[in-house]
Amino acid sequence: MTRVLALTNHKGGVGKSTSATNVAFGLCGVMRRMGTPNNRILLIDTDSQGHATLLTTGRNDFGTDNSLYTVLMADRQQAPQVMASCIVQSAWDPDLHVLPASPMLEGAERELMGVAGAPYRLADPLSRIAPHYAAIVIDTRPSFSLMTEMGLIASTDAIVPVEPRYLETVGLMSVVDKIANIREGWRAPHLRISGLVVTKMDTRVRGHNYLLDELKQHPTLGRLLCGVIPANEAVSYAHRNHQSIFAYDPHAPAGVAYLKLVGSLIQRLFKVGA
């Protein structure tokens, strides 16, 4: 079964899109270097803001007939072919493919509300496409809306980025509970919480160190911690250039940390040494 990793947290601005794009690109490169026969990665952007789409394709003009919106609105029988036809190559790597978001996704939630089987409109066609990929990464919007539920139902692994701030970490157990509820309530037995990534960590800030230590000692959350990404302005510059952090500056502290995270995810989820 192809692993499907959803970067998710209902908090805004915690680094979901930064993590989804760099993890997807990192998986592609690391798997290629490992000589994996198939290193194609699919990045799915479920957020109507389309940040992951813009970063990886340089475009934000996807709409009714060439985006995830098109897939969600398609006849269910046709949805796998429609999905295949909407997937584009990223500008980052020929083996990194993107199912783009569209601002129309905002309306899709309303349009699909109450439609039978709506929560499975991403998972069902994706199950047909997934075997073509070594892994799939999903970027989600900052809320537990229907769109995010669709992303999580289609996923095997939820990875939760979190900033080391008091109110952000206080809400973490509710994120864990929400994901558990989706697994139980939406017949998604394959979904589990596989990782917690602390983002924008500044070791000069006492509160950041304190919260990271607390997380490490927490019986549930400490076990899930799989990466710490430093606050690093190279991330903003990479975004401005529509580049991955690895391409912008492979030696940037955030790039080094994202590479370590990718190695750790490969070991944890794909059971191979990186």
Ligand X SMILES: Nc1ncnc2c1ncn2[C@@H]1O[C@H](COP(=O)(O)OP(=O)(O)OP(=O)(O)O)[C@@H](O)[C@H]1O
What is the contact surface with ligand X in residues (CB under 6 A)? 12-18, 47, 49, 51, 142, 199-200, 229, 231-232, 235-236, 239, 254
Kindly state the smallest distance separating residue 22's Cβ from Mg ion, in Å. Answer: 12
Q: Which two tokens stand for residue 216?
A: 């490490």
Q: Which is nearer to ligand X, 108 or 235 (CB)?
A: 235
67 binds, among Mg ion, ligand X, none (CB under 5 to 8 A by kind): none
Question: With binding defined as CB under 5 A, does residue 17 bind Mg ion?
Answer: yes
Contact between 21 and Mg ion by CB under 5 A: the answer reads: no
| Tokens read off for 218 | 């927490």
Strand partners, 73: none
**Long-range contact set of residues 217-224: C-beta below 8 Å, sequence gap at least 24:** 220/173, 220/176, 221/172, 221/173, 221/176, 221/196, 224/160, 224/193, 224/194, 224/195, 224/196
Choose the one of Mg ion, ligand X, none that binds residue 44, judging by a C-beta under 5 to 8 angstroms depending on kind. Answer: none
Whose tokens are 């046709």? That residue is 78
State the nearest-atom distance from the C-beta of 20 to Mg ion, in Å: 8
> How many amino acids of this chain bind Mg ion (CB under 5 A)?
3
98: left (phi over 0), alpha (psi -120 to 50) or beta: beta
Nearer to ligand X, 80 or 142 (CB): 142
Q: Which is nearer to ligand X, 51 or 208 (CB)?
A: 51
* Contact status: 51 vs Mg ion (CB under 5 A): yes
Encode burial over 239-265: b for 16+ CB neighbours within 10 A, e otherwise.
beebbbbbbbbeebbbbbbbbbbbebb
Binding site for Mg ion (CB under 5 A): 16-17, 51
